[in-house]
Structures are given as structure tokens and as C-alpha cells.
Chains A and B, each alone.
Chain A
Amino acid sequence: MTTDLKKSVILHAGVVLALFVLQFVLPAYHHGNMARIMVLASYAIGYNLLFGYTGLLSLGHALFFAAGLYGAGLAMSQFGLSAGPALVIGVVAGVVIGAVVGGLALRTEGVAFMIVTLMFAQAGYLTILYFGAYTRGDEGFVIAQTERVLFGVDLSAPLVRYFAAFSLFCAAILTCFLAVKSRFGRVLVAIRENEERAAMLGYDVAKYKLGAVVLSAGLSALAGAGYALLFGYVGASFASVQYSIFPLLWVLLGGAGTVLGPLVGTVFMFYLIDLSSGLTTAYMLIAGLVLVVLTVFAPQGVMGEVRRRMWRWLP
């Protein structure tokens, strides 16, 4: 057990270290991409906590990402708050919405849960469009560079931005790692594996599932708020169905229920779409193909296969 723990700590610390070193060697284009990928991967990590570890498939996580994005963005654009408090407001918005949506959606299960989360997210997206006077709808709004300052540092400067994205990612992956190793995370896995048994071991399953939704929503909102601050753009497309499908796609590809899976999946998918959008406007075709191929042939994803074939200790 302890040697397994040691191995996984070394592996994850190594990946984090590699990401840190990468900023000094990457050319400018990929440097910017990696910053974006780390923020999106944090979103995927949040998604994975619910989908991969608890076994709850949500089709509405864009709602939580957008809660962070708009929570932080509107706090700055409408109320003139500075970056720090805006970030906090974004996360709080995600947690509150997560608690409400979770409380309602968890009364259902399976397919109904998927549809209910989808519908709530769609209602959120439409609400953003409806209040176009403040949100500027599909077009979105830009947060001025002079506003994007945290602790006196300009977040829009490339090196700072990379480091900020890296810090966000570290926070997300550490939260995930600790959660998965904790008693809480192990109960979530138990619920995923056999919900009835978990209840008959005396665990209050409903409470744990709600906790998982809230934690997952909070992490997603953190990523959303971080995205607003680092890239200075807030738009309704981030609240659309597509942004609920993306984390599912990243996590499925990277390996659901693995700590590193979300990062692996996000990197792969980001570059696949980046490369193909140079060739065609129909770049979402790639996403569709990958989804079908994964569900049919490799439901475990990349890291899931690694765990199955080589490293059984992989958390």
C-alpha cells in the first residue's frame, strides 16, 4: 500500500514538475496553448470527480464553468470588483448553483440525471442570452487588461499567465489527489461501484453524492473564474452544450476515474481540434468521431488502459 502511494506521489509530482519546466522551453504559440490547456484540464478534473469517481454522468457542467466565468466576469465588469474578490465570487457562484442543481437532479438517476443536468445547463445558457444587456450574449465581453491584476501582478503577461494557470492546475490536481485518497473519495468510488451496498454499509449515499456534485461544481467554477481572469474573455459559448460535452470527451479520452486522465485527454483533444481546425471549419467532426470510437472500443480511456495493463496502483 505505502509503496503504491509513494509511486503515485512520485508520478504525479513528476508530471507537475514537467509542466512547470515546460514554460521555459515552449515556443510562444504552444506556451499560450498550454496555459489554456491547464485551465481547461482543471475543469476536466472537476468533471472527473463526479463522472469518473462517483459514476454520475452530468451533461450540464458548462453551467458550473459558466457560473465561475460569469460570476468573476460580471463582478468585475458590472460591479467594478478587483480580480481577487471576483475569483472568490465566481467559485461561490459555482458552489451555490452546484448545491441547488445537485439537490434537485440527484432525486433522479441514470438517463434522467443526464437529461435533468442538460436541461438546467440549457436554461442557464438561455438565461445568459436573455440578459444580453449585461452579458452581451453570444458576442460576450472583454475584461480590460488593466483590471486583470492579482496581488499586484499583471495576469495577462504570458509568463505570469502560464504560472497562474499552472498554479490553478496544481490546486485542482492536488484537490483531486487528496479527495481520491481520502475517506470521502473512497466512499464515492464505493457508490460508483455499488450504490446499494454503500448505503447498506451505513453511508449516507445522498449526502456523499451531493458533496461530490458541489466539489465538482466548485472546481469547475474555479476553472471558469480562472479562465475569465487569465484570458479576459467572457462569452455565452462557454455555457453552451458543447462546453458540457467537452469535459466528458476529455475525461473519456484521458481515462475516467484517474487523476491524470483529464490532463492527458485535454492535451490530446485540444491539439487534435487545433490541428484539424487548420484544415476544415468542421473541426467538431473530430470530437464526434473520438466520442464514438471511445465508447465503442476504449471506454477506459488512455490512463484507464495504462492502469489495466501496467500500473494497477494508479489512482
Chain B
Amino acid sequence: MDFGPYLMLAIMEGALTAAVLALTASGLALVFGVMRVVNVAHGEFFMLGAVLAWWVSQLAGGSPVWGFLLALCVVPLLVGVLAAAVDMTILKRINYDPERTIVATIGILYILQQVTLMTYGPEARPVAPPFNTRVALPWFEMSNGALQLYWPWGLSITSYKLFVIGAACVVLLGLWALMTQTKLGLLMRATEQDREMAHAFGIPVQRVYAIAFGLGAGMAALAAVLIVPIQQAHYLMGGDPLLLSFIVVIIGGLGSLPGAILAALLIGLSDGIISVFFSPTLAKIFATLLVAFVLVFRPNGLWGTRNS
């Protein structure tokens, strides 16, 4: 394949990564924004989404479409409720102290991961995609001074991947509408601005926190349900989304949703492109160092979205 079509392929794969990452990371950013805590177990809620999606699609049996649709509706809800329960039983008790929350969520990370290992087992299991036709993509070349379209061999994407990208956009628009157009969004933003003040104005801060935490985890689970037909479900799969979400949230400016989505696009696209040309380990080394240096030298994110 020539360089041009190769790059195009990398961009399409990057867009897929970016879409899933934007969903996962906006969950983390939401939790950090509203509650001012870092949820280290975020990647495990993602993993749980994938594993439950496999489970639900097994239960449903029959056509993969029904299993997938059922998983899409039920799994994020289940994970969200579980996360809200974690919030009310554990995080509430330590009063959302930032440092203790990190330690507690590290504990939750291990609990979720190890319980999955004990029940679901160490195997990686695939979920059948509901539809999966190959869509060939065109490329152009200059021949005899004129632009010509052609379909290079190997330059294609599946209809399911396109669906994931589309679905992610729809969900993110939905989240935006939720945050800006609804009363719940208003309550969350008020709590984000000033917890004490929100409490004084009679906002049920505790309930808002539980909802935000559940919503954040639900976003991760939703991303996982979408990706699991492409990537198999495994009990250790939570590590990478956690790391990438961290990178995105930090580069995007802690807690800023638009910043996180912009950063997800940047990281997802560059990840797709970089890992085509470089060793993935080297790419990860650069990514982790980038996070460290952004936090040290640009604590408000690369584009400095102030969010007090």
C-alpha cells in the first residue's frame, strides 16, 4: 500500500480509538469535575462493562443483534448502579478526601478485577458484532494531470466500526445536553462550582455525587460494550483505558469535559498513527511522560482551560 492510503487507514483506526476514548475519558472527567476526586477504578468499570456485555449476549442467545442491543441498554445501567453503591458505601464514608479516595479506589480496582478473575475466569472471550460488513474506502491518485478515485486493496473499515464512531458522537451530544439542558446537569454544575454553597442551597449533594459517580462509570461501561465486538473481554483489559483516560483528562485540563473530548481526539488519532509507525511501548513511554510533564509544567491542561 502507498503512504497515502496507509495514513488514511491509520486515521480511521485512530478515529475509532478516539471515539471510545472520548466516552471513557469523559466519564472520568465528569467524576473529577463534579466530585474533585480521581477514580482509579475507572478502568475496571470499563472492564466490567465488557465482561457483562459478553455475559448478557450469552444469556440472550439467538441473533447477535438482540444480545448486543440488550447489553447496550442493561450493562451501563448495571455498572452505573454498582458504582453509585460504591460511592454511597465507601467514598461517602471517607468524605471524598482526595488522597484517601485514590487509595480506596485502588482497593476497589483490585476487588473488581480479582472477583472477575474468580467468576469469569482468565480467558479472553469475543462478542459477535451485530453487523459487520466490510466497507471499502476510496483513495485518489494523480494520473495524466487529473485526480482519479480508486479503491486500493486493504483500505477498508467495517460497518460496525463506523457505527461505533457514530454512536460515540451521539452519546457525547447526549451528555452535553444532559449537562447543559436538564435540571440534573444544573445541579451537577452547581455542585462542581461550590460544594458547600450547593449544600446550603438545599441541593442533595450526596445524591448528586452518587449519580455523577454512577454516570461516570456507566460511560466507561458503555464504551466497553461498544468496543467488545472488536476487542475481546478480559479481566485485565482495564489498564489501558485507565491510563489513556488519565492522559486525556490531564491534557484536557482536569475536570473539563470539552477539554477531555478534544484531548481524546488528539490522543486517539495520534495513537492510531503513532502505533502504525512506532513501537507501541515507545508510544506509551512518551504518553506517560507527557502526562507527567503536563501536570508539572501546565497544571491546567495543555490549552489551559481554567476550572477552579
Whether B250 and A115, one on each chain, are in contact in the complex, defined by CB atoms closer than 8 angstroms, is yes
Q: Name the residue of chain B whose CB is nearest to the CB of A289.
A: B111
Encoded as 1 (CB less than 8 Å from any A CB) or 0, chain B from 120 to 135 comes to 0010000000000000
Whether A282 and B296, one on each chain, are in contact in the complex, defined by CB atoms closer than 8 angstroms, is no
Q: Counting CB contacts under 8 A, is B275 at the interface?
A: no
Question: What is the total of A-B residue contacts with beta carbons within 8 Å?
Answer: 116
CB distance from B53 to the nearest CB of A (A): 21
Q: Counting CB contacts under 8 A, is B208 at the interface?
A: no
Q: Counting CB contacts under 8 A, is B284 at the interface?
A: yes
Within 8 A of B (CB), among A230-283: 245, 248, 252, 280-283
Encoded as 1 (CB less than 8 Å from any A CB) or 0, chain B from 144 to 163 comes to 00000000000000000000
Q: How far is the CA of A130 from the CA of B282 in the complex (A)?
A: 7
CB distance from A64 to the nearest CB of B (A): 15
Q: How far is the CA of A14 from the CA of B289 in the complex (A)?
A: 45
CB distance from A276 to the nearest CB of B (A): 10
Which A residues are in CB contact (< 8 Å) with B243? 122
Q: Counting CB contacts under 8 A, is B274 at the interface?
A: no
Within 8 A of B (CB), among A281-296: 281-285, 287-296
Encoded as 1 (CB less than 8 Å from any A CB) or 0, chain B from 283 to 295 comes to 0110011011101
Q: Which of B60-68, B99-107, B169-177 lies on the face that meets chain A? A: B99-107
Encoded as 1 (CB less than 8 Å from any B CB) or 0, chain A from 153 to 186 comes to 0000000000000000000000000000000000
Whether B111 and A281, one on each chain, are in contact in the complex, defined by CB atoms closer than 8 angstroms, is no
Q: Which of B90-98, B181-189, B211-219, B261-269 lies on the face that meets chain A? A: B90-98
Which A residues are in CB contact (< 8 Å) with B198? none
CB distance from A211 to the nearest CB of B (A): 19
Q: Counting CB contacts under 8 A, is A299 at the interface?
A: yes
Q: How large is the interface on A (under 10, 10 to 19, 20 to 34, 35 or more residues)?
A: 35 or more
Which B residues are in CB contact (< 8 Å) with A127? 285
Whether B114 and A284, one on each chain, are in contact in the complex, defined by CB atoms closer than 8 angstroms, is yes
Whether B103 and A285, one on each chain, are in contact in the complex, defined by CB atoms closer than 8 angstroms, is no
Q: Counting CB contacts under 8 A, is B115 at the interface?
A: yes
Decide: A292 near B284, CB < 8 A? Known: A104-B292, A119-B292: no
Q: Counting CB contacts under 8 A, is A81 at the interface?
A: no
Q: Counting CB contacts under 8 A, is B45 at the interface?
A: no
Q: Counting CB contacts under 8 A, is A112 at the interface?
A: yes
Q: How far is the CA of A235 from the CA of B247 in the complex (A)?
A: 27
Most interface-central of A119, A282, A285 (chain B CB within 10 A): A119
Decide: A116 near B295, CB < 8 A? Known: A122-B243, A288-B111, A289-B111: yes
Q: Counting CB contacts under 8 A, is A309 at the interface?
A: no
Which B residues are in CB contact (< 8 Å) with A289? 107, 111
Beyond A116-B292, A120-B292, list 6 extra A-B contacts (CB 8 Å): A108-B299, A111-B99, A123-B292, A282-B114, A291-B103, A296-B94
Please list the 9 inter-chain residue pairs (A to B) with the smallest Cβ-Cβ separation, ordered nearest first: A288-B110, A291-B107, A285-B114, A292-B107, A282-B114, A288-B111, A119-B292, A123-B288, A295-B104
B residues with CB within 8 A of A: 38, 90, 93-94, 98-100, 102-104, 106-111, 113-115, 117-118, 122, 243, 246, 250, 279, 281-282, 284-285, 288-289, 291-293, 295-297, 299
